[in-house]
Amino acid sequence: MLNHLLSPVKAGSIALNNRVVMAPLTRSRAGQPGDVPRALNAEYYAQRASAGLIVTEASQISRQGQGYAWTPGIYTDAQQAGWKNVVDAVHAKGGKIALQLWHVGRISHNLLQENGQAPVSASAIQAANSQCFVVQPDGTPANVQTAEPRALTLEEMPGIVEQYRQASVRAKDAGFDLVEVHAANGYLLQQFMSTNSNLRADAYGGSLENRARLTLEAVDAAISVLGAARVGVRISPNFVAHGIADTEAEAMALYLAKAFTQRGIAYLHIAEPDWAGGAELTSAFRTELRAAFPGTLICCGGYTATEAESLIASGLADAVAFGRPYIANPDLVERFAAGAALNTPDRSTFYGGEEKGYTDYPFM
């Protein structure tokens, strides 16, 4: 029985019908030109509206924040209008949806940046063994090594925070129930947080508190628009891909959890180190995290329905997010409730393309 997983819960001021969360999943199918959400995207999300909460694929808050071709943005009028159609489609099916706000930082390439500029990061350190997805000058798509970034200047920092604020305004105007600040998976905010990617000597570098500064400023910018009860945050303690090797990962996570508790945010979303490698979260750390953040805690890490039920029953999480199962099972909640078998996702259709592997998976 999945009595906990299928029971209602609140994320800040938003009531969720169940605790099955659709995790953010990059699918690289935004309309071109302009990286605009289109009717196909609205159909895809509406199919999955029985989730307690849908967290959208990560959406760049500026051209500078993009690291992969064909991902949707939230910085132009056309993108906002496209997202409004997605939100309306999900709401029409009774669903709740959060927009994930994304700045990739150094996980990018000059081909993706305006006028071929270098990507930006905390420090001018190229991400080791890390790729991004570009359209090459001859028009063919390719995975390429990320480019060497330049370090953001102190004078530029308010502008980065303003990108998060403006994206939050657009998300609010598009009708999203919540936004999720993406501070995980080795992107810009985690580049500032990690000891090996941030070698700054100013107010954004050095101490743990300084390395956390940009993340908290981004969260506060979103709160200033939507209120804390409609802002979630995703972090990924012990994440090791994209050149991240943070020697204070758990200390940073606990510091942020306490800061988020003080702010009263809607939820904290933990991306566990499953697909990206890294040390598993210990039971001791999970207990500390729960104590530091008594609010709605969402965990994401390759869980089965039974494992998710146990985690929620233990009190160490309030909801569980599912990624790849949601690619192939638009009716995942109904399948969980019925104890039904799950469709297997087709990896070859994860990124790019049209309906195949996106909106054509069968319902029960």
CA distance 236 to 74: 23
State the helix-helix crossing angle for 208-226 and 157-174, rounded to 10 degrees: 30
Surface-to-core class of residue 345, CB atoms within 10 Å of its CB (0-12 exposed, 13-18 middle, 19+ buried): middle
Q: Which two tokens stand for residue 165?
A: 């604020």
**Residue whose tokens read 């233990």:** 314
**Residue whose tokens read 């307690």:** 52
CA angle (226, 321, 266) in 5-degree steps: 25
Q: How many CA atoms lie within 13 A of 144 on its CB side?
A: 20
CA distance 74 to 100: 10
Surface-to-core class of residue 280, CB atoms within 10 Å of its CB (0-12 exposed, 13-18 middle, 19+ buried): exposed
For the question of residue 187 being annotated catalytic, the response is: yes
Which one from 45, 187, 255, 326 is the annotated catalytic residue?
Answer: 187
Active-site residues, by number, are 187
